Amino acid sequence: MGRFLKEIAGVFYEETTITLGTGHTQKTQRVKNYCLAEQLDEETVQVSFLGNEGQPTGIVVKIPYAEFLTQYTLEPDFKIRTKEEREHDKHLALAERHRTRGESFSAEMEYDSALRIDPESIKANFGIGTLYMEMGQTDKARTVFHKLSRVEALFEEENKHIFNEFGIELRKANMAEEALDNYLKALEISPGDEHLYFNIARLYFDARDWEYALLWIERSAETDPSFREAGQFADLIREERGRDEAASGTGMGKSAPALRRVDPKAALAGMGIRPEAGENARAGKSEGPSGSEPAPA
């Protein structure tokens, strides 16, 4: 017989059905039971069961190889959290609980505790930054947002539900240039998200740069023709431009643009995205963070 090679090693799960409740309230639910598995020889796999936190329970059994293959499925993305990670998540959960109750000081303390464990925690930094905005402590919020903007992990695929909200908070904190940079980075991940184009248009609207506000809102409408808010916002931009032109008589508006000008076609081309391709620029429309700000009243 040839030399034995360990083929099974890693985290696996067995899916089972449990019954909850009794009588007319009874229902069934599928659950996954995780374990660490290691093949010992050609015939046997050792299974160490994991608890809800991903930690070993101490229960270890040996299962025949063929039986293991029929019962268990590999979970390549499963991550066993460390004690520090579990403690970090506990403080985050407490912070959000205090926040929903309006207990801002207690929420701030819990966010601080989470940040002492992981200073680059995206959720903790974003949470305390937005909390400062709610408390009217704009300078503190700006400091946090500057720090968060340098955390590259913010713009990873798994965090795309946050970076659009982050851009909105940057705008509210009067950090328009930082908000623009944030949205441009976000577009590299989600070039098919019409909300990102909409929010960039909002930045130029606030800067009273009607030309670039229209360029970006038109890109939003082209990306998703069913996005009615884009058309409505475009009408508002044209109305405001008309008022400025009527007031000044110069056709230049009330003031020069205060925000760095970025052409949407040039920006997309610089990212390797074909601007003329719309939402199909990168192998189909990407699923973006989906959250645009309401247009100004």
The string of DSSP codes covering 21-75 is SSGGG-EEEEEEEEEEEEE-SSSEEEEEEE-TTS-EEEEEEEEEHHHHHHH-EE-
CA geometry: angle 239, 241, 252, nearest 5 deg:
165
Q: Which of 26, 48, 74 is the last residue of a domain?
A: 74
Last residue within a domain, chosen from 30, 46, 74: 74
92 located within any domain: no
Count of the separate structural domains present in the chain: 2
The answer to whether position 249 is within a domain reads yes
Instruction: Decide which of 27, 53, 74 is a domain's last residue.
Output: 74
> Does residue 172 lie within any of the structural domains?
no
Q: Is 24 a domain residue? A: yes
pLDDT of residue 289: 43
Residue 215 contacts by C-beta under 8 Å, 6 or more apart in sequence? Answer: 201, 263, 264
Question: Phi/psi at 77 (nearest 5 deg)?
Answer: -95, 0
- Which residues span the domain enclosing 247? 189-297
| Residue 175 phi, psi (nearest 5) | -110, 65
Q: Are 82 and 25 in contact (CB under 8 A)?
A: no
* 87: in domain: no
Q: Which helix (H) or strand (E) holds 111?
A: helix 104-117
Tokens, residue 256: 């020069």
pLDDT of residue 294: 63
DSSP-assigned letter for residue 81: P
Q: Is residue 68 part of a domain?
A: yes
Identify the segments of the chain with pLDDT beneath 70.
1-6, 21, 24, 249-257, 274-297
**pTM of structure:** 0.68
Predicted pLDDT of residue 175: 92
Residue 219 within a domain: yes
- The Cα 263–Cα 66 span in angstroms is 60
DSSP three-state, residue 216: helix
Element (H, E) at 246: helix 228-248
The C-alpha atoms of residue 210 and residue 201 are separated, in whole angstroms, by 9
Q: Is residue 106 part of a domain?
A: no
Tokens encoding 82: 């460390």
CB contact at 8 A, 9 and 37: yes
Cβ partners under 8 Å of residue 7, min gap 6: 39
